[in-house]
């Protein structure tokens, strides 16, 4: 259904549009009447924004419950960030360690989250995961198997037992392929190359979403009573990160905040210890993930002096200590002059049999071979890279509800499961465990009247204001490119809100952020609505919102905990065992504190047992 907007006196809404401009000349030089913009109205009963593992699992549950959702993504169907989660997915199956169970999985997760996790959410995930793994296997996921035919499991950092199920070192890819295969079996409708720029919301409820077709350059108005945000995190805001440049830019968090939802714990950004670094890999691979599976299979870290330095920092857990511990150790080695010329350290697995490495880490072997490096015979150069964001949208994990009627969220979009530091292998677990639960709840509240909602005059007016703002942004003819500003933002955050932080640096970051925001008035977009330049301009508008909220939360938390390490307040304080909740207000973002619930008695018992990985089992 294609319509032209009715006459409206509403002006362009530029509260977040990066250029902050209204009527301009089109990029090709010809005048354009913004009131003539055509757009399509789509009315699904449920709109799922994000086509990775979390969005796919929600859609599967909806479809199996008799509800036909529409799933939209920014890329081709089946191509999502999930594919970059390489090493594995956690479930207490006990294939190799029968003493493992959901209580220990929960305890490990709470311990590594420094007890800021939502204990009930963690328990939901840990209890559900054995069934979710068996379900994936039934749908055809080709898990590695033991000689007895059981699903194989490997060690991952800071886990008490071998709990991480895997498909070589391409687990995320295999999981997404399996989920998308199931989605296609169920004939779930989907649209590719769609970007959402605003939710239809009055602050109390959501009535749909507004965006554009990235190939056609036309507007899209999705009118629905149920929207599920599953669009990822915001780690790509950093200079060195493990994402592709055009994803994980904070879209979901910015959309939710502006729609009236709350965010939580944005200060917690996980820096994976091992990202690629070095001239021999080239700029294209800077920061790309070297999976934790390398260390899970026995990989060792050495500094430039040939010292296995984790012996100083964690003699019991060594390279398989928590990610924040290993990342800070590497950063300290580099800062104190024991790093490589490229600013990293060496990751070495050459002591393992070459055929074993090729069998267990095929993607890593292939990637490095393409760059002229044989990891079975020589070391990799690695350094920490921004990898995952523990903070996100504040939800009720029993339902996915955000507090805004009709708006739900799931996956890396949300906060709560991982606390202050994520346990490796839990990201994929969260997507399917919580995704199934959210899909089940949304299916239970969809009614017949949700199938073809009417579009009101007010909703049309809001959509048309957004379309005019987007057209104006596409016509921006200043001198600064969006990619330049995104790059500068990445450097700003890396320098002022990276692995090591302090209040002075964070406040300097806020000051520099205001200067960067001022430069958006001179933005230049080349190529119009279908260009990468325009996509990055929209990304920038989202990124600025989330970057400011994250910096403010990092200033507010005056302690060090998990991935948030303040050199000016290096201790963890018991009084700070609370979540930071952020909400939009008239002056920007307000921050409040909320206490964390206690775990259930069975989990407390597991915590008291003090289970802990012993790295030397690998020796």
User: What digits encode the pLDDT tens for the residues 305-315?
Assistant: 999 999 999 99
How confident is the model over 517-544, as a mean pLDDT? 96
What is the C-alpha to C-alpha distance for residues 498 and 424, in angstroms, rounded to an integer?
Answer: 20
| Residue environment code for 172-183, b if the CB has 16+ CB neighbours within 10 A, otherwise e | bbbbbbbbbebb
Instruction: Give dist(CA 355, CA 360) in Å, integer.
Output: 9
Average pLDDT of the residues in 145-156: 94
Between 528 and 280, the higher pLDDT residue: 528
Section 145-169 average pLDDT: 92
Q: How confident is the model at residue 615 (pLDDT cuts 50, 70, 90)?
A: low
- pLDDT of 576 strictly over 50: yes
**For residue 165, which of 177, 174, 153, 179 has the smallest C-alpha distance?**
153
Instruction: Determine if residue 88 is left, alpha or beta; phi over 0 gives left, psi from -120 to 50 gives alpha, anything else beta.
Output: left
295 is catalytic: yes
Residue 451: pLDDT band (50, 70, 90) is confident
Is the CB of residue 50 less than 8 Å from the CB of residue 209?
Answer: no
Q: Which of 449, 435, 439 is nearest to 66 (CA)?
A: 439
Check residue 321 and give its pLDDT.
87
Starting at the earlier edge strand, list the strands of the sheet with 578-585: 392-393, 263-264, 578-585, 588-595
Provide Rg for the chain, Cα atoms: 24
Across 13-17, 91-95, 611-615, the highest mean pLDDT is recorded for: 91-95
Q: From the candidates 114, 272, 323, 566, give the one annotated as an active-site residue.
A: 272
Q: What is the mean pLDDT of residues 245-252?
A: 88
Q: Is 382 exposed, middle or buried (0-12, 13-18, 19+ CB in 10 A)?
A: buried
Residue range 555-564: mean pLDDT, rounded: 97
Dihedral of the alpha carbons of 272, 276, 277, 280, in degrees to the nearest 10: 170
Residue 18 has pLDDT above 70, yes or no: no
**Higher pLDDT among residues 2 and 410, named by residue:** 410
Query: Contact at 8 Å (CB) between 71 and 146?
Result: no
Strand partners, 165: 89, 153
Distance (Å, rounded) from C-alpha 4 to C-alpha 294? 55
Q: How far apart are CA 591 and CA 124, in angstroms?
A: 28
Mean pLDDT (whole number) for 267-281: 90
Tell me: the pLDDT tens digits for 281-305? 887 888 888 988 899 899 999 999 9
Query: How distant, in Å, are the alpha carbons of 3, 108, 111, 120 from that of 105?
Result: 52, 5, 10, 13
Task: With a cut of 60, say whether residue 484 has pLDDT above it.
Answer: yes
pLDDT at 613: 66
pLDDT band, residue 614 (cuts 50/70/90): low
Mean pLDDT of 455-480: 93
Question: Mean pLDDT, the chain, as a whole number?
Answer: 90
Tokens 């190359």 belong to which residue?
Answer: 193
Residue 27 has pLDDT above 50, yes or no: no
Reply yes or no on whether the pLDDT at 436 is more than 80.
yes
Q: Which residues pair with 194 in a beta bridge?
A: 213
Could you give the percent of the chain with pLDDT greater than 90?
80
Which of helix, strand or coil describes residue 332? helix
pLDDT band at 16 (very low <50, low <70, confident <90, very high): low
Question: In this structure, what is the dihedral angle of CA atoms 353, 356, 361, 366, given to the nearest 10 degrees?
Answer: 70
pLDDT digits (tens, 9 = 90+) for 43-97: 999 999 999 999 999 999 999 999 999 999 998 887 777 877 778 999 999 999 9
Provide the 3-class DSSP secondary structure of residue 385.
strand
Residues near 195 by Cβ (< 8 Å), separated by ≥ 6?
Answer: 74, 211, 212, 214, 251, 535, 538
Alpha-carbon distance of 565 to 324, in angstroms, equals 9
Question: Which tokens is 253 given?
Answer: 């968090």
Bridge partners, 427 (sequence order): none
Q: Nearest CA to 492 among 334, 412, 386, 344?
A: 386
Query: Regarding predicted confidence, which is higher, 84 or 346?
Result: 346
Query: Hunting for tokens 């440049």 — which residue is that?
Result: 245
Of 296, 364, 297, 307, the C-alpha closest to 330 is 307
| pLDDT score recorded for residue 8 | 31
Closest by CA position to 270, among listed 66, 562, 616: 562
Quick one: average pLDDT of 271-283?
A: 86
> What's the confidence (pLDDT) of residue 247?
83
pLDDT at 483: 95
Tens-digit pLDDT profile for residues 109-119: 999 999 999 99
| pLDDT of res. 54 | 97
CA 486 and chain centroid, separation: 18
Residue 22 has a pLDDT of 31
pLDDT of 10 reads 31
CA distance 237 to 266: 13
Beta-strand runs (E) in 39-152:
39-42, 47-49, 70-72, 89-90
* Phi, psi (deg, nearest 5) at residue 282: 85, 155
Q: How far, in Å, CA of 84 to CA of 236, rounded?
A: 13
Angle at 586 between CA 581 and CA 589, to 5 degrees: 25
The predicted model gives 32-45 an average pLDDT of 73
272 is catalytic: yes
- CA distance linking residue 519 with residue 19, whole number of Å: 9
User: What's the pLDDT tens digit per position in 184-214?
Assistant: 999 999 999 999 999 999 999 999 999 999 9
Q: How far is CA 436 from CA 6, 258, 411, in A?
A: 40, 26, 11
Give CA–CA dist 91/72, Å, rounded.
Answer: 29
Q: Which of 57, 154, 241, 295 is catalytic?
A: 295
Q: How would residue 37 be classed by pLDDT, with cut points 50, 70 and 90?
A: low
Least Cα distance to 613 among 364, 383, 381, 425 occurs for 425
Q: Is the pLDDT of residue 150 over 50?
A: yes
Q: What is the per-residue pLDDT for 14?
A: 34
Nearest residue to 168 (alpha-carbon basis) of 352, 354, 294: 294
HEC string of 434-495 equals HHHHHHHHHHHHCCHHHCCCCCCHHHHHHHHHHHHHHHHHHCCECCECHHHHHHHHHHHHHH
Average pLDDT for 239-265: 92
Measured CA to CA, the distance from residue 562 to residue 237 in angstroms comes to: 20
Query: Which residues, 6 or more positions from 492, have their beta carbon under 8 angstroms from its beta carbon?
Result: 509, 512, 513, 516, 547
- Residue 535's pLDDT band (boundaries 50, 70, 90)? very high
State how far the Cα of 358 lies from the Cα of 363, in Å rounded to an integer.
8
């Amino acid at each position: 259904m294609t319509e032209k907007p009715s006459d409206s006196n509403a002006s362009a809404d530029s509260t977040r549009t990066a250029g902050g401009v209204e009527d301009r000349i089109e990029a090709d030089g010809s005048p354009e009447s913004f009131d003539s913009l055509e757009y399509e109205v789509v009315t699904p009963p449920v709109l799922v924004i994000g086509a990775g593992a979390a969005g796919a699992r929600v859609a599967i549950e909806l479809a199996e419950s008799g509800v036909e959702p529409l799933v939209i993504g920014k890329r081709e169907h089946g191509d999502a960030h999930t594919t970059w989660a390489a090493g594995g997915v956690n479930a207490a199956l006990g294939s190799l360690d029968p003493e493992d169970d959901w209580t220990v999985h929960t305890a490990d997760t709470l311990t590594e989250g420094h007890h800021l996790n939502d204990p009930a959410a963690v328990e939901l995930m840990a209890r559900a995961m054995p069934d979710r793994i068996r379900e994936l296997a039934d749908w055809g996921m080709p898990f590695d198997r033991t000689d007895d035919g059981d699903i194989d499991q490997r060690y991952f950092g800071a886990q008490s037992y071998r709990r991480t199920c895997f498909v070589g070192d391409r687990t995320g890819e295999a999981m997404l392929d399996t989920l998308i295969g199931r989605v296609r079996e169920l004939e779930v409708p989907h649209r590719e190359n769609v970007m959402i720029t605003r939710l239809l919301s009055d602050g109390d409820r959501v009535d749909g979403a507004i965006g554009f077709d990235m190939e056609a350059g036309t507007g899209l108005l999705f009118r629905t009573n149920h929207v599920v945000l599953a669009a990822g995190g915001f780690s790509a805001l950093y200079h060195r990160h493990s994402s592709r440049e055009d994803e994980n830019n904070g879209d979901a968090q910015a959309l939710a905040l502006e729609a009236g939802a709350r965010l939580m714990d944005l200060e917690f950004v996980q820096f994976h210890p091992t990202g690629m670094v070095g001239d021999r890999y080239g700029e294209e691979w800077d920061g790309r993930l070297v999976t934790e599976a390398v260390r899970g299979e026995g990989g060792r870290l050495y500094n430039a002096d040939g010292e296995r330095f984790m012996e100083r920092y964690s003699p019991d857990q060594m390279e398989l200590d928590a990610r924040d511990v290993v990342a800070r150790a590497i950063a300290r080695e580099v800062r104190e002059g024991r790093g490589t010329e490229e600013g990293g350290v060496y990751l070495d697995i050459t002591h393992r049999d070459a055929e074993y490495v090729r069998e267990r880490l095929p993607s890593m072997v292939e990637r490095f071979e393409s760059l002229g490096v044989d990891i079975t015979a020589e070391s990799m150069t690695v350094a920490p890279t921004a990898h995952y964001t523990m903070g996100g949208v504040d939800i009720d994990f029993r339902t996915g509800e955000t507090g805004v009627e009709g708006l739900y969220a799931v996956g890396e979009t949300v906060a709560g499961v991982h606390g202050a530091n994520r346990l490796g292998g839990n990201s994929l677990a969260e997507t399917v465990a919580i995704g199934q639960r959210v899909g089940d709840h949304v299916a239970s509240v969809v009614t017949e009247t949700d199938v073809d909602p009417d579009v009101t005059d007010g909703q049309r007016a809001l959509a048309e204001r957004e379309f005019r703002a987007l057209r104006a942004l596409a016509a921006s003819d200043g001198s600064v490119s969006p990619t330049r500003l995104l790059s500068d933002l990445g450097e700003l955050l890396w320098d002022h809100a990276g692995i090591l932080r302090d209040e002075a640096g964070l406040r300097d970051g806020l000051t520099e952020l205001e200067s960067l925001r001022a430069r958006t008035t001179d933005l230049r977009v080349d190529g119009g609505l279908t260009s990468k330049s325009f996509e990055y301009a929209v990304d920038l508008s989202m990124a600025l919102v989330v970057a400011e909220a994250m910096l403010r939360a990092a200033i507010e938390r005056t302690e060090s905990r998990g991935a948030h390490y303040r050199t000016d307040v290096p201790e963890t304080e018991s009084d700070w065992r609370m979540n930071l909740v952020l909400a939009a207000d008239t002056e920007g973002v307000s921050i409040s504190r909320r206490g964390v619930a206690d775990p259930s008695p069975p989990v407390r018992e597991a915590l008291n047992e003090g289970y802990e990985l012993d790295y030397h089992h690998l020796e």
